């Protein structure tokens, strides 16, 4: 780190003189960021690095704002080597407003989008057992999330942008007195995730119109009365080829086989063995970077639920556990990388990959796939 004039160390609880400044902050033009020692710098890294992420995201937003209106489909990273054919369409629209009367999660107004309640539980493997009242709270929020996803599903067709879908999702959330959980979660800029083709997960809705033969995953999470409800589904846009149908159908089958094994006493690590066995038998691979997770009053918490075989997940299923199972299956290799936006996860080889519906469970399903989505254009998960 570079030597500078004396400041006070920015590590919480440390008041020592600080003559060292974070080199990444200097490069990004971030003011401050002084530390008294390498030890303090390393000890603060988990929180401090979020400043770097926000600075990079702000730069991308500024570049988008500078785009001329007639060039709204500008690629914000012209030198970036994409793994597939999909490109972002910038600038993004401004952050949407949530009325003040709607209950908000603790990260909603945090400048870095950080959830202090999640940070408190970070690193623990203790799995919360929900009581009857809490389970009912989860049932209610899952029902609301299902309604929001059904509204998004009815918009899926060629020519509609994922930005338009996000707008509809946002309005549907606020109309139900719900906060759209993704919004500002670690500075995520939108109210839902829309992942197209080679995007595995966390796609940011933008101005790109959906095209014939796309496959689209819409990931919805809503926050209501203190609980998060999280689910998603994959849709065919118009007619798709047989390879895409087989990918999505296999992903769904992986999910259902995992669900069939859910019962008290089963180790969470076993789900990955079941999922990978079926995926590989059909010629597909399983993404390892993203896992299922516990969910209730926290958006993401224990247990960690990997979808690949021979994982080291901790914990045994018990009544009252609520968690997601969300296998992400790819046509090519399982390796992934992230776009410069810090969110959009894509397959490294550019082959298509997709995620099954996230369904929340507590030894029984909290909210099933609805008849509305099952019949939507005959597109859900290849079901006919």
Q: Does the annotation place 48 within a ligand binding site? A: no
33-43 in b/e form (b: 16+ CB < 10 A) is: bbbbbeebbeb
Residue with tokens 């049932």: 139
Q: How far apart are CA 42 and CA 316, in angstroms?
A: 34
316 bridge partner residues: 267
Please state, in angstroms and rounded to a whole number, the distance separating the CA atoms of residues 22 and 33: 6
Exposure on the CB side of residue 294, measured as CA atoms within 13 A: 26
**Residue 159 and residue 218: Cα distance in Å, rounded?**
16
d(CA 127, CA 194) in angstroms, rounded, equals 29
Check residue 21 and report its DSSP letter: E
Within 10 angstroms of residue 5's Cβ, the number of other Cβ atoms is 8
The C-alpha atoms of residue 271 and residue 238 are separated, in whole angstroms, by 33
192 touches 182 (CB < 8 A):
yes
Known binding residue 230? Answer is yes
| Alpha carbon 112 to chain centroid, angstroms | 16
- Is 293 marked within a binding site? yes
Consult the annotation and say whether 219 binds a ligand.
Answer: yes
Count the neighbouring beta carbons within 10 Å of the beta carbon of residue 246.
15
Task: Tell me the C-alpha distance between 7 and 17, whole Å.
Answer: 6
Pair 335, 325: CB distance under 8 Å: no
Is 202 labeled as ligand-binding? yes
| CA–CA dist 212, 225 (Å, integer) | 39
Question: Is residue 366 within 8 Å of 323, Cβ to Cβ?
Answer: no
Residue 327 CA: distances (Å) to CA of 56, 109, 110, 284, 378: 29, 31, 30, 12, 22
Tokens of 380: 């859900």
Helices (H), 154-215: 162-175
Give the three-class secondary structure for 270. helix
Q: What residues form the annotated binding site for Zn(2+)?
A: 219, 230, 293, 326
Q: What residues form the annotated binding site for a protein?
A: 202, 300
Q: What residues form the annotated binding site?
A: 202, 219, 230, 293, 300, 326
């Amino acid at each position: 780190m570079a030597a500078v004039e004396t400041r006070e160390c920015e590590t919480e609880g440390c008041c020592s003189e600080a003559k060292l400044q974070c080199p990444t902050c200097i490069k990004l033009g971030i003011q401050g960021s002084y530390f008294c020692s390498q030890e303090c710098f390393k000890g603060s890294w988990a929180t401090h690095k979020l400043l770097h992420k926000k600075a990079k995201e702000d730069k991308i937003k500024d570049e988008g704002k500078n785009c001329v209106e007639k060039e709204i489909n500008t690629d914000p990273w012209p030198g970036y080597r994409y793994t597939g054919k999909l490109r972002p369409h910038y600038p993004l629209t401004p952050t949407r407003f949530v009325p003040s009367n709607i209950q908000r999660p603790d990260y909603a107004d945090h400048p870095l989008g950080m959830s202090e309640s999640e940070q408190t539980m970070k690193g623990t493997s203790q799995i919360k057992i929900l009581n009857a009242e809490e389970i009912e709270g989860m049932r209610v929020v899952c029902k609301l999330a299902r309604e929001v996803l059904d509204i998004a599903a009815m918009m899926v067709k060629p020519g509609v942008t994922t930005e338009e879908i996000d707008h509809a999702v946002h309005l549907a959330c606020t109309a139900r007195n719900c906060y759209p959980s993704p919004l500002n979660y670690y500075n995520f800029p939108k109210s839902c995730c829309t992942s197209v083709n080679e995007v595995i997960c966390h796609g940011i809705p933008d101005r790109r119109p959906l095209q014939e033969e796309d496959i689209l995953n819409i990931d919805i999470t809503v926050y209501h009365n203190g609980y998060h409800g999280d689910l998603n589904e994959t849709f065919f846009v118009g007619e798709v080829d047989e390879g895409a149908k087989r990918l999505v159908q296999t992903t769904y089958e992986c999910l259902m086989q995992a669900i069939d094994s859910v019962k008290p006493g089963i180790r969470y690590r076993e789900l990955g063995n079941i999922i990978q066995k079926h995926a590989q038998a059909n010629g597909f691979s399983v993404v390892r970077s993203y896992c299922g997770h516990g969910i209730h009053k926290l958006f993401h918490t224990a247990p960690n639920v990997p979808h690949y075989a021979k994982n080291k997940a901790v914990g045994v299923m018990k009544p009252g556990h609520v968690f997601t199972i969300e296998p992400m299956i790819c046509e090519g290799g399982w390796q992934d990388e992230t776009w410069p936006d810090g969110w959009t996860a894509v397959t490294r080889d550019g082959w298509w990959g997709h995620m099954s519906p996230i369904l929340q469970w507590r030894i029984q399903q909290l909210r099933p796939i609805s008849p509305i989505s099952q019949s939507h254009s005959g597109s859900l998960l290849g079901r006919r």
